[in-house]
Amino acid sequence: MNKPITNPGQLASLAGSPEPVTICGRVYKIRRMSGFAFLLLQLSRPDSSGSGLLQCTWLPELAGDLSELPAEQSCIALTGQVVSEPRSHSGYEVRAVSVRVLSTPIEDLPVVINNKALDMNLETLLDYRPITLRNEKERALFRIQEGICQAVRAFLSAEDFTEIHSPKLVSEGAEGGSNIFRLDYFGKEAYLAQSPQFYKQTMVGVYGRVYEIAPVYRAEHHDTSRHLNEYIGIDLEMGYIEQFQEIMELETQMLTAVFRHLNEHQAGELALWKAVLPVIPEDGIPCMTFAKVKETVRRLRSANPIQAENIPNSHPAPESEPTLDPNSNSSLDLEPEEERLICQWIKQQTGSDFVFVTHYPSAKRPFYAMDDPENPEVTLSFDLLFRGLEITTGGQRIHSYPEQTAKMRQRGMNPEDFASYLMIHRYGMPPHGGLGIGLERLTACLLGLSNVRQTSLFPRDIHRISP
């Protein structure tokens, strides 16, 4: 017996062949017609349309009585003939001759998952995630995410970056603050890594350029549409830079490569989501300093307060969004509303879906961020905003031992607590910097989704740790 087919790419060439083929898949949908039926078989991989659905016809004279049709969600091995059928989107269909049922559901699904889009609220979609992911459009989403990772790896590998695996169980938190998960590690306190920061810097001392795509943990107490407690970080770090703008240039090239890859390999999946690939202007992504952004937002708000309030809110802030205290942090960081506003303005002014915001205040950046020698109040750092949302934080790091220990002491930190990290500064580090991209945020902004939970297979938030 020939191996059963699970990939539609193998089928097209068989159209018209008298040889029957056996195809394995899931019964996605049965459409009973007058005297026959369509059986939509869901294959493991999509064809070039982005869909993995294969139209099969069940003609009683060939396949048996309609009462023998397998149940929806059954997994089957269907034997039939591939025939040309111009009315099918693929140009062919399969006429069932026989079906072997491999497994059947024990009951009907509790939710409808075989429509074009899932019609249910987010909580239900996530409660039933193991089966709602079987929806064709959901499948397409995470294939797009796979495409992003593949394109990132191909790009970085060609740019001489080495892939690393750093530990997620750590003894020192890199980002500080209270949003860190603690656990007992054989009687010692350990943490879940908030970022691979220390390790990717360490590995720049080894390989010059490194990257990692791996989970990152933030014990965020906020229940917002932008935060996950476990997310996939695309982290890179590069040595021998002359200025931090080189990291922004690299990210621009990388994103360009990612969108080119998706356009070539996942146009079908993107079309299922009606996703429009973003615009990166030919002369690069526009850059504004943090101070300039603040000033522009102020101007926009005062000049046209009604327009500012009417900005399409693609990332609505839920009720528990931390409230803005105008006396404290508002001058040191951008509020979500400000990020949306500046992105809309940049889009109007330049056509760009992205904007780099540079020179964030030193007070709000971690201790390893390099201050601007011309103005130590700000850092040689940047965020990348994409359609209203921050998807990247990056910047140049301090590489000199005296500078790093001085800045730590300034902040009331004891360098001895970070002895193993500081080993790299002590024994020579090239000038370097890097960035971290949130994979779920990038995917959400690309597809125009308002909640990052939609772009995580099994999201973790303050309320949810299952399924």
Name residues contacting a second copy, limited to 187-206 (CB under 8 A). 188, 190, 192, 199, 202-203, 205-206
Nearer to a second copy, 334 or 429 (CB): 429
283: left (phi over 0), alpha (psi -120 to 50) or beta: alpha
Nearer to a second copy, 101 or 291 (CB): 101
**Lookup: tokens for 56:** 């099969």
Task: List all residues 6 or more positions away from 172 whose beta carbon is below 8 Å from its beta carbon.
Answer: 191, 198, 417, 418, 420, 421
The residue from 4, 20, 278, 361 that contacts a second copy (CB under 8 A) is 4
Q: Is 320 in the site for a second copy (CB under 8 A)?
A: no
Give least dist CB 381 to a second copy, A. 20
CA distance 56 to 83: 10
Q: Is 428 in the site for a second copy (CB under 8 A)?
A: yes
Give least dist CB 278 to a second copy, A. 23
Subset of 221-250 contacting a second copy (CB under 8 A): 221, 229-230, 232, 239-240
From the list 11-19, 287-295, 321-329, 419-427, the region that binds a second copy by CB under 8 A is 419-427
The residue from 30, 62, 66, 77 that contacts a second copy (CB under 8 A) is 77
SS3 40: strand
Q: Is 183 in the site for a second copy (CB under 8 A)?
A: yes
Subset of 5-24 contacting a second copy (CB under 8 A): 6-7, 24
Site string for a second copy, 350-389 (x = CB under 8 A): ----------------------------------------
Q: Give yes or no for a contact between 54 and 91, defined as CB atoms under 8 angstroms apart.
A: no
CA distance 37 to 371: 69
Tell me the number of residues near a second copy by CB under 8 A.
Answer: 99
Nearer to a second copy, 305 or 322 (CB): 322
Furthest-apart CA pair in the chain: how many Å? 84
Subset of 30-69 contacting a second copy (CB under 8 A): 43-45
Nearer to a second copy, 6 or 115 (CB): 6
Task: Determine phi and psi for 296, rounding to 5 degrees.
Answer: -65, -45
Give least dist CB 212 to a second copy, A. 10
CA atoms within 13 A on the CB side of 349: 14
Nearer to a second copy, 139 or 315 (CB): 139
Site string for a second copy, 129-168 (x = CB under 8 A): -xx-xx---xx--xx-xx--xx--x---x--x-xxxxxxx
Give least dist CB 209 to a second copy, A. 6
Nearer to a second copy, 205 or 388 (CB): 205
| DSSP, residue by residue, 261-328 | HHHHH-HHHHHHTT--PPP--TT---EEEHHHHHHHHHHHHHH-HHHHHTS--SS---TTSPPP-TTT
Neighbouring CB atoms inside 10 A of 132's CB total 18
DSSP secondary structure code for residue 134 in this structure: T
The residue from 16, 60, 91, 215 that contacts a second copy (CB under 8 A) is 215
DSSP secondary structure code for residue 117 in this structure: S
Nearer to a second copy, 230 or 371 (CB): 230
Task: List all residues 6 or more positions away from 326 whose beta carbon is below 8 Å from its beta carbon.
Answer: none
Subset of 323-342 contacting a second copy (CB under 8 A): none
CA distance 186 to 257: 44
> Minimal CA–CA distance to 191: which of 209, 207, 179?
179
Q: Give yes or no for a contact between 152 and 254, defined as CB atoms under 8 angstroms apart.
A: yes
Give least dist CB 150 to a second copy, A. 7
Site string for a second copy, 258-297 (x = CB under 8 A): ----------------------------------------
Q: Is 430 in the site for a second copy (CB under 8 A)?
A: yes
| DSSP, residue by residue, 141-208 | HHHHHHHHHHHHHHHHHHTTPEE----SEESS-SS-SS---EEEETTEEEEE-S-SHHHHHHHHHHHS
The residue from 12, 33, 102, 271 that contacts a second copy (CB under 8 A) is 102
The residue from 35, 65, 86, 106 that contacts a second copy (CB under 8 A) is 106
> Minimal CA–CA distance to 250: which of 88, 433, 85?
433
Nearer to a second copy, 77 or 332 (CB): 77
From the list 58-66, 305-313, 406-414, 450-458, the region that binds a second copy by CB under 8 A is 450-458
**Lookup: tokens for 285:** 């992504």
CA distance 326 to 460: 31
The residue from 40, 424, 435, 452 that contacts a second copy (CB under 8 A) is 424
